[in-house]
Structure 1
């Protein structure tokens, strides 16, 4: 028997200190949005992984352990979650910091850094970055498996 997944539109905002301790609050928000959108385990994991990686990079590399804030805004709808992460750390475009894996290089000889960002960006369906008014704004979208990212218009 097929059970319809109940979905609802949801908007949420969270501002937290840029600390590793705040990552759990961010993950909880992301998972609430994923649940309200009716995302399955795979899509929920992908959006959580990507947001966690970007937020961790903000804490560790953007603010370098100093004082700062991270604002997370999210919206969900049936089969879709969009999350924006904002910070006032120095400018950093994750697409430019992305280092794809080097499959033909032995692990001990590979360059350090950038692989987490690569994994984050390849795990989402859409990604956008802008620097506006002194803020880094990364926006990520994940859709439920089997969802057409460009449905036909009526």
Structure 2
């Protein structure tokens, strides 16, 4: 009864054809009749090679770890050098800034002193000019007195 239901065309999917079913059956029959020793031997060989490959992989991994660790240490050393250089440059920059401020202050003091000296020179020049004028006037006055005296003596 079950076999007749299997062959009944109404229970078979329209997409499946009898040729495909027989092909599947042949493949299944071949699978169970063909010896799989060769496949099993290949698989066993690959499984036996796994510890060797695993060992090689571990060795490669350790080598990579050491290499990367060395590179990382080198990068850390370079970074420390860069940071120390940066701090030195900051310190030098601060020293230069302080020196600049000090020199600007000194320059301003020298300018102030120069201006004060210039004012003193101008005052002394004015006084010297006044004294020169005064001396000329005294000389003219003395000459005038002498000339007047000579003029008076002639009369």
Output the TM-score relative to the length of structure 2: 0.18
Comparing both structures, which one devotes a greater share of its residues to helix? 2
**Which structure has the greater CA radius of gyration?**
2
Greater relative contact order structure (CA < 8 Å, 6+ sep): 1
Comparing both structures, which one devotes a greater share of its residues to strand? 1
Output the TM-score relative to the length of structure 1: 0.18
